[in-house]
Amino acid sequence: MNILITGTSSGIGEALALYFSNQEDTTVTWIERVDRKSGWNIIPFDLSYISKLETIFPLQSTYDVIILNAWVGYFDTFEEINSENNTETIHTNLLSNIELLRLLKKHNNIADRAMIITLWSQASKHFYVWWAVYQASKWWLRGFIGSLRKEWKQYRFYLIHPQIVATRFFRNTKDGVIPSHLPQTKKEDITEIINNILHWVKKYDWEIDC
Ligand SMILES: NC(=O)c1ccc[n+]([C@@H]2O[C@H](COP(=O)([O-])OP(=O)(O)OC[C@H]3O[C@@H](n4cnc5c(N)ncnc54)[C@H](OP(=O)(O)O)[C@@H]3O)[C@@H](O)[C@H]2O)c1
**1-37 pLDDT per residue, tens:** 999 999 999 999 999 999 999 999 999 999 999 877 7
Q: Which atom of ligand 1 is nearest to the CA of 134?
A: 47
Q: What is the pLDDT of residue 72?
A: 94
Query: Quick one: pLDDT band at residue 107, thresholds 50, 70, 90?
Result: very high
Strand partners, 110: 63
**Residue 161 contacts residue 209 (beta carbons within 8 Å):** yes
Question: Which letter, b or e, does each residue of 170-182 get, where b requires 16 or more Cβ atoms within 10 Å of its Cβ?
Answer: bebbeeeebeeee
**Residue 165 contacts residue 190 (beta carbons within 8 Å):** yes
DSSP H helices in 76-156: 83-90, 96-106, 132-151
Q: Ligand 1 pocket test: which of 140, 168, 190, 191 has the largest number of ligand atoms within 8 Å of its C-beta?
A: 168
Q: How far is the CA of 204 from the centre of ligand 1 (A)?
A: 24
Which contacts (CB < 8 Å, 24+ apart) does range 83-86 have? 85/133, 86/133
Q: What is the pLDDT of residue 34?
A: 83
Per residue in 37-87, pLDDT (tens digit) is: 766 799 999 999 999 999 999 998 999 999 999 999 999 999 999 999 999
Q: What is the pLDDT of residue 181?
A: 84
Which contacts (CB < 8 Å, 24+ apart) does range 145-149 have? 145/116, 145/118, 148/101, 149/206
Rounded to whole angstroms, how far apart are CA atoms 75 and 77? Answer: 7
Q: What is the pLDDT of residue 65?
A: 98
Q: What is the pLDDT of residue 86?
A: 97
**Residue 67 contacts residue 6 (beta carbons within 8 Å):** yes
Per residue in 81-94, pLDDT (tens digit) is: 999 999 999 999 99
Per residue in 135-186, pLDDT (tens digit) is: 999 999 999 999 999 999 999 999 999 999 999 988 887 777 777 888 899 9
Q: How far is the CA of 31 from the centre of ligand 1 (A)?
A: 12
Q: What is the pLDDT of residue 117?
A: 98
Q: What is the pLDDT of residue 136?
A: 94
Q: What is the pLDDT of residue 36?
A: 72
Hey, what domains does the chain have and what are their CATH numbers? Answer: 2-209 (3.40.50.720)
Q: Ligand 1 pocket test: which of 36, 71, 117 has the largest number of ligand atoms within 8 Å of its C-beta?
A: 71
Q: How far is the CA of 39 from the centre of ligand 1 (A)?
A: 23
Q: Which residues contact 67 (CB under 8 A, 6 or more apart)?
A: 3, 4, 5, 6, 13, 16, 117, 118, 119, 194
Question: Phi first, then psi: what are they for 86, rounded to 5°?
Answer: -65, -45
Q: Which atom of ligand 1 is nearest to the CA of 92?
A: 31
The set of protein residues with a Cβ atom below 6 angstroms from ligand 1 is 7-13, 32-33, 46-48, 69-72, 92, 119, 121, 162, 164-165, 167-169
Length of the chain: 210
State pTM to two decimals: 0.96
